[in-house]
Structure 1
Amino acid sequence: MLHNVFSNKIRPCLNGQNAGVVAAAVAAGQNQTQVYVTESCLQKPYRCPHPKIQFYLYTRRTQEEGEFLNVLDPNALYYTHFNPRHPTKIIIHGFGGGRMLSPSPDLREAYFSVGEYNIIIVDYSDAVKEPCLSQMEWAPRFGSLCISQLVKYLARHPRGVQPDDLHFIGYSVGAHIAGLVANYLKPEEGRLGRITALDPTIFFYAGTNNSRDLDSSDAHFVDVMHTGAGILGQWHSSGHADFYVNGGTRQPACVGSATLFQTLACDHTKVTPYFIESITSTRGFYAGPCPNLFTYLIGWCEPKDSEYVLMGEHCSNKARGNYYVTTNAKPPFARGFPGKGRSNGEYQGVRR
């Protein structure tokens, strides 16, 4: 059983960043006192496994009913449909999410439509139904500690898999939690294979402290997709490959939302439909390297055909640097290969 010292080091953390969370909560009808201590706050004892952080396995045979993984029972994995020969995906949702709430079911459906997978949902929905500002500073680290217990359980189990074979997919704060799991793995215990970060939130973790942020040292390969950068999502690059979709800040499908807050929220959440489509798309989201947003916006990025890489599920683990990609405003969002190999012979670049 994993214990930790969080119970002795709980400190309020009401700074400029989570002031944005307060503002959003107030806009939804809550006052600051209501979001400081809520039913979503974790209860003592603060040890893993915690009842508000649970793991459910889904396979093609169990698409509708997930199988609960008890990491304290060495025999539990034997009684599930986990197959070590199939790729293993561990999905960490964001604020307000859950295993039965979008995008978790949509991700499962997309994966199972193309193959056999072990999909494990980290369900901490009871802890993120509403803000809990009194625990905001340390709760994500505690969550990652509990997830590391799952990783070690799978590594030790005769029917399990090693950390190097795991693909984490984290949305919003879930992206940072995925990165923080690496802090609890010793070198001899292995390293996470891949982390796909879907618009990592700017709240809590904007900074240069890599021990509390997602960065390229957290896995063998870290790819990041930005759709609401600088507003609800972080702007700075933090992976081996960072993809800025439609410039990274404003998504065409979100234009015309009723309020500014709805527009910003739409930009942030639009990352999940893009990634889900990338799992099954035959066109593909081809992205080209580009030095900065200004160069992308004025159309000066002209990569060679060989420099384009696929964004999303099928991204090459050799991709390095910042990439920009343009999508359609409506599904299918992927535009396919934009290089010189076009029937009209006209080079159209990254932005078109």
Structure 2
Amino acid sequence: MITYPYYLKLTYSAFASAVPVREEQADFEYPRFIQFPDGDGVPHTVDLQEEVDQNLLEEVQRNANNNLYLLFTRRNPLTSQTLVINDRDSVLNSNFDPSHPTVVIAHGWLSHQNTDLNPFIRNAYLDKGDANVIILDWRRVAIGGYALAVKAVPAVGRGLGQFLRFVHETTGAPYSSMHLVGFSLGAHLVGNAGRELGGAVARVTGLDPAGPLWNLNSNRLGPNDGVYVEAIHTDGGYTAGGLGIGKAIANADFFPNGGISQPRCLTNICNHNRAWELFAASVSYNHLLGQECLSNLQITLNTCRGRSLHMGNDDLRKMGSGKYRLDTARRYPF
């Protein structure tokens, strides 16, 4: 993992809490070379200007249905069943129940089905109640270069949207029972999936949506990708080394602890991952309550006094808009 001298991190945290969050965050430019973690929290040097494998990218764009969809339910909480698009038997002979909510979890770069966030969020749902939890494994391009993965996100997202349309047509599962949850690059991926379905899914949640190559990217997560779109920002990208996009991009945007530095975190990787930890906790306890903010300055100074809205949770009828700040505890469930 990336390590920083402790006194430097304390200095940075104090600076971040004292300096107003810039309103012009969209203008932030990352340096060419950055450090970005894989699913195990190991940092890798990324060249944001690297050449991509055009043959692989074009193949993915031609055929967006190469994703792996792994179903978990309370009947099979630990061993997955594979669902295959356009294979009705794979769905009808599985434990998929259209009367239960459907949750899709999408990982980020250099990750896969067993990356920590997947079982963590899966277990939060299945410990609480009946649900169809589908883990999307898109490692085929996610294990390549970062720039390639970024360019492939729209096609992979469209593939997920087409798969959910197939599930809807095969089982009758309504879009109003679907919640798409994505971390980092996966946040933009599920946004594209929701867009493929015309924004019909009940909820789309972006967990610290990735910042590098996304600030001015029209394919990023947006407010029209679902009936209700939420983003949770924990490692704002306008700060040195930040991994998340760090600005409001959804219907409702939450900035826990100011959205830059998280309690007990000494690295950006820890800050970044805190988004999925907070979300899983909110599914279990629905205890994280934000206050609406009128400006980024209020987020920074912790002076938000507007209406309240719960962050995260599993409520498919949840609605809201605006920017929200909340403070959390240092340890799970925060």
User: Which residue of the partner structure matches residue 17 of structure 2?
Assistant: none
Maintained 8 Å contact 2:210/2:245: yes
Deviation at 1:251, TM superposition (A): 0.6
Find the aligned partners of 1:299 and 1:184 in 2 and give their Cα distance: 37
Larger radius of gyration: 1
Find the aligned partners of 1:208 and 1:184 in 2 and give their Cα distance: 17
Deviation at 1:115, TM superposition (A): 0.3
Among 214, 217, 223, the alignment partner of 1:216 is: 223
User: Which residue of the partner structure matches residue 200 of structure 2?
Assistant: 191
Find the aligned partners of 1:177 and 1:268 in 2 and give their Cα distance: 17
CA change 1:332–1:138 in 2 (3 A) is closer
Maintained 8 Å contact 2:254/2:323: yes
Task: Trace 1:135-284 onto structure 2 (pairs within 5 A).
Answer: 135-136=148-149, 138-157=151-170, 159-185=171-197, 191-207=200-216, 209=218, 212-230=219-237, 231-254=242-265, 257=266, 263-281=267-285, 284=287
Secondary structure (helix, strand or coil) at the match of 2:318 reads coil
Find the aligned partners of 2:146 and 2:325 in 1 and give their Cα distance: 35
Gaps of 5+ in 1: 1-15, 258-262, 334-352
Maintained 8 Å contact 1:288/1:323: yes
Relative contact order higher in (CA < 8 Å, ≥ 6 apart): 2
Maintained 8 Å contact 2:206/2:231: yes
Cα deviation digits, residues 86-105 of structure 1 (max 9, x gap): 11101111112222221101
Find the aligned partners of 1:275 and 1:132 in 2 and give their Cα distance: 25
Cα deviation digits, residues 140-174 of structure 1 (max 9, x gap): 111012112211101211x2413332100011111
C-alpha RMSD of the superposition: 2.9
Maintained 8 Å contact 1:275/1:312: yes
Deviation at 1:132, TM superposition (A): 5.0
Deviation at 1:18, TM superposition (A): 8.2
User: Which residue of the partner structure matches residue 294 of structure 1?
Assistant: 297
User: Which residue of the partner structure matches residue 313 of structure 1?
Assistant: 313
Deviation at 1:232, TM superposition (A): 0.9
Find the aligned partners of 2:33 and 2:47 in 1 and give their Cα distance: 11
Find the aligned partners of 2:295 and 2:52 in 1 and give their Cα distance: 41
The number of equivalent residue pairs is: 296
Cα deviation digits, residues 164-185 of structure 1 (max 9, x gap): 3210001111111111123433
Secondary structure (helix, strand or coil) at the match of 2:70 reads strand
**Structure (1 or 2) with the greater strand fraction:** 2
CA change 1:245–1:78 in 2 (3 A) is same
Give TM-score scaled by structure 2 length.
0.79
Task: Trace 1:4-19 onto structure 2 (pairs within 5 A).
Answer: 17=30, 19=32
User: Which residue of the partner structure matches residue 85 of structure 1?
Assistant: 99
The percentage of counterpart residues that share the same residue type is 25
User: Which residue of the partner structure matches residue 63 of structure 2?
Assistant: 48
Find the aligned partners of 1:327 and 1:166 in 2 and give their Cα distance: 28
User: Which residue of the partner structure matches residue 6 of structure 2?
Assistant: none
Find the aligned partners of 1:227 and 1:31 in 2 and give their Cα distance: 21
Gaps of 5+ in 2: 1-28
Maintained 8 Å contact 1:48/1:145: no
Task: Trace 1:117-132 onto structure 2 (pairs within 5 A).
Answer: 117-131=131-145
Secondary structure (helix, strand or coil) at the match of 1:207 reads coil
Cα deviation digits, residues 157-216 of structure 1 (max 9, x gap): 1x2413332100011111111111234335xxx71211011010112321273xx12111
Give TM-score scaled by structure 1 length.
0.76
Find the aligned partners of 1:69 and 1:48 in 2 and give their Cα distance: 17
CA change 1:74–1:278 in 2 (3 A) is same
Maintained 8 Å contact 1:49/1:71: no
